[in-house]
Chains A and B, each alone.
Chain A
């Protein structure tokens, strides 16, 4: 059983299109995250939800909109895709309360590689 699963694994699309990436976790964790990993391997947090509530929203263009229908799911919708959006997007989850604990251990999904042409 996959603990954190993301779909699709690969996404190739044209500039200007809209796309979504879905994430589900079956660990019973109450916090979920989206990370972006660029070509230089930098891992940067984009969003975090705790029990469907947005708790971290880093400086990310408004074209990116996360949605959490329940605490096991966190989706990422991207409008008007740009070349610079090409990256690997990782979903992650952790056990932890509403506050951003420094001891939360992240479990990552396998990643979704987005290529914008």
Chain B
């Protein structure tokens, strides 16, 4: 079952913040975040496994809510290099397939 991502697209100026959400109708075993720059391969950012978990660096971090049905990716003081499509990927139960969300296209303008 594919997770839902919002927004579908976001345009920012350098230095602005953004939040990308990933949600599921069922509790999840794990949430993964990947970034794909234009014309390149997706690159792993982070994985969250525990309800209530927060992880990441100052500028790019993510959270997983207590019910394990929603994760948010936080991009702070965005840079031009943050532009790309951000995918969450979810696993409902251990041992089941990993499914990517539809992606959120982020454009950071000078």
Binding site for B on A (CB under 8 A): 40-45, 56, 58, 90, 99-111
Contact = CB atoms under 8 A, between A and B. Distances in A.
Contacts, number: 59
Best-surrounded residue of A100, A102, A110, A111 (most CB of chain B within 10 A): A102
A102 B42 contact: no
A102 B41 contact: no
A110 B41 contact: yes
Interface residues of B, number: 26
B96 interface: yes
Majority-rule SS of A interface residues: loop
B74 interface: no
Given A108-B41, A109-B41, A102 B96 contact: yes
B100 A44 contact: yes
A105 B32 contact: yes
